Amino acid sequence: MPKKIFSQVGEKEVTRAIVQEFSKQFLEYVESDCIIIGGGPSGLMAGKELAKEGHKVLIVERNNYLGGGFWIGGYLMNKITVREPAQEVLIELGVPFVKAVDGLYVADGPHACSKLIAAACDAGVKFANMSIFDDVVLREENRVAGAVINWTPIKALPREITCVDPVALEAKLLIDATGHDACVVKVLEERGLIKTKGFGAMWVERSEDLLVEHTGVAHPGLIVIGMAVSTTYGLPRMGPTFGGMLLSGIRGAEVAKKLLASD
């Protein structure tokens, strides 16, 4: 008999552990201070900043991974760039970087992304992976008060085979961090509650400043951050530089903290 290395735990204990801990977290986060739709760099940054202040934050991410395009930078080359002063975020996260030219810095995408994810987890952010945003919860005067979600694979099932109703989560605030898709904003637009302009052509020198400047409340109960800001307000689209998204996440968290404090 080979010497046993691992403890005597079987399949039923493994399954019970997974179901028990998932259910416990899901029940707890059916109601949150803030639900962030989208686990890219802006969403992760906003979640980290809110959670470290003690706020209950859930990030809903449609993929089985977090970080969005932050892993691979531009054109499938895994270097990410940030313009000054966003290198201060890299320093805070402990991400090594080099100077390309004055005011422009380069870091490894996998290193930067994994550090940001870890920082969000360490701050206390919880995640619902493989979960897709389906709709909003509205209350008096059409204030956004939560998100309707479903499992991502459900979307791949032919409509004629099955219909699986989604579930709803309540929150004091919702943050749209879904990139140029602006999924939450688009749902409000379908109901005639908001009008988007669609993102403009790429112009890095202008897009990042405008992105941070326009980050904030787009509708009662809804804050827009990251590339979703460009789509909402018709700003130049983001290029392969990530400082704007990181600082937009910080700005969005600042706005959320003020609203939560006054709630």
- What pLDDT digit, counting tens, does each position of 46-77 carry? 999 999 999 999 999 999 999 999 999 888 99
What angle (nearest 5°) sits at the alpha carbon of residue 26, between those of residues 20 and 31? 145
Q: What is the number of helices (H) and of strands (E) in the chain?
A: 8, 11
- Quote the pTM value: 0.96
pLDDT score, position 159: 73
pLDDT score, position 2: 77
- The residue type at 173: L
Dihedral of the alpha carbons of 203, 62, 137, 182, in degrees to the nearest 10: 10
pLDDT score, position 82: 97
In the predicted model, residues of the chain with pLDDT beneath 70 are none
pLDDT score, position 197: 95
pLDDT score, position 263: 78
Strand extents, DSSP E, 152-234: 167-176, 216-219, 222-224
Which are the contacts of 250, defined by CB distance < 8 A and separation ≥ 6?
45, 46, 49, 89
DSSP secondary structure code for residue 64 in this structure: S
